[in-house]
Chain A
């Protein structure tokens, strides 16, 4: 059955994400898991959001992750082992949390009444987005603009962006090029 196959794919690749030591493998497994989730969205009668999931998540966000992993050259970086007590508490706590979640989901079986046919096409979503949800929509556009500006400011090398507000200089540090040279020297 389609549901069980893709649910198994999503869960297995999610486990690969948290168990594999190489972040590139983790990112690619997460892409596979997102594709399986897109199939779930189709099964939930939301094909437009399935397309968004593939394009935005698997296409854009995960490419950003892969790009940063390869930019920082982390494929060969050795991740130090987690402390055993932290590992035990992490696994035990999340297992308890998951079991409690599933227990309450199964206990309250009110949701097992059959849902009726429900088709959500892109037109309905667009109308709702531009009528009832126009204010949150505009807020999200402002938030994305702020995220772009913030990402540019944060990821720029010191000295490349001539901004006094970003990084107040210690006294006696003359020029942006000197700052760049200082930073590179301290990195070696």
Chain B
């Protein structure tokens, strides 16, 4: 039986990689993929604790997180398409105004 703390350390490493990518990249879609990476790291934590404490609630939360990540991806990518139509770029440094 694999200890829970191993999964927690893996989750921490993946979350840190996501934070690092989000802070250092400028391509909007790559930053978005880093957010997905962080969301998945948190999902792994939920499942690790669910197994540790024999609770089903962690699994249900992972289910909801997946649904909300899907909604977030759809709306976020639509925003990037709209931004690309107006600015011809998805460099987030170019998108510094709330109107066009």
Q: For B93, what are the chain A residues with a Cβ–Cβ distance below 8 Å?
A: 80
Task: Please determine whether A61 and B73 come into contact, CB atoms closer than 8 angstroms.
Answer: yes
B residues with a Cβ closer than 8 A to A are: 1-10, 12-21, 23-27, 29-30, 32-34, 36-37, 40, 43-44, 47-48, 50-52, 54, 56-57, 59-60, 62-64, 66-75, 77-82, 84-85, 88-91, 93
Instruction: Enumerate A85-112 residues with CB–CB distance to B below 8 Å.
Output: 86-87, 89-91, 93-95, 97-98, 101-102, 105-106, 109, 111-112
- 12 A-B pairs whose Cβ atoms sit less than 8 Å apart in the complex: A7-B6, A11-B13, A33-B37, A40-B47, A49-B59, A68-B81, A95-B20, A106-B9, A115-B54, A129-B63, A140-B67, A151-B77
- Tell me the bound Cα distance from A129 to B63 in angstroms: 9
- Tell me the bound Cα distance from A105 to B7 in angstroms: 11
Task: Please determine whether B30 and A64 come into contact, CB atoms closer than 8 angstroms.
Answer: no
Task: Please determine whether A154 and B30 come into contact, CB atoms closer than 8 angstroms.
Answer: no
A residues with a Cβ closer than 8 A to B are: 3, 7, 10-11, 14-15, 17-18, 23, 26-27, 30, 33-34, 37, 40-41, 43-46, 48-49, 52-53, 56-57, 60-61, 64-65, 68-69, 71-72, 74, 77, 79-80, 82, 86-87, 89-91, 93-95, 97-98, 101-102, 105-106, 109, 111-112, 114-116, 118, 120, 124-125, 128-129, 133, 136, 140, 143-144, 146-148, 150-155, 157-158, 183, 187
Which listed residue (A33, A53, A89, A140) contacts B64, Cβ 8 A? A140
| Cβ distance B34 to chain A, nearest Cβ, rounded Å | 6
Q: For B48, what are the chain A residues with a Cβ–Cβ distance below 8 Å?
A: 44
Task: Please determine whether B5 and A109 come into contact, CB atoms closer than 8 angstroms.
Answer: yes
A49-B47, A128-B60 are known contacts. Are A65 and B29 too (CB-CB below 8 A)?
yes
Task: Please determine whether B60 and A125 come into contact, CB atoms closer than 8 angstroms.
Answer: yes
A65-B77, A125-B60, A154-B78 are known contacts. Are A87 and B19 too (CB-CB below 8 A)?
no
Q: For B68, what are the chain A residues with a Cβ–Cβ distance below 8 Å?
A: 140, 143
Which listed residue (B27, B37, B40, B85) contacts A183, Cβ 8 A? B85
Question: Chain A residue with minimal CB distance to B93?
Answer: A80
Task: Please determine whether B24 and A86 come into contact, CB atoms closer than 8 angstroms.
Answer: yes
Question: Chain A residue with minimal CB distance to B16?
Answer: A98
- Tell me the bound Cα distance from A120 to B90 in angstroms: 42
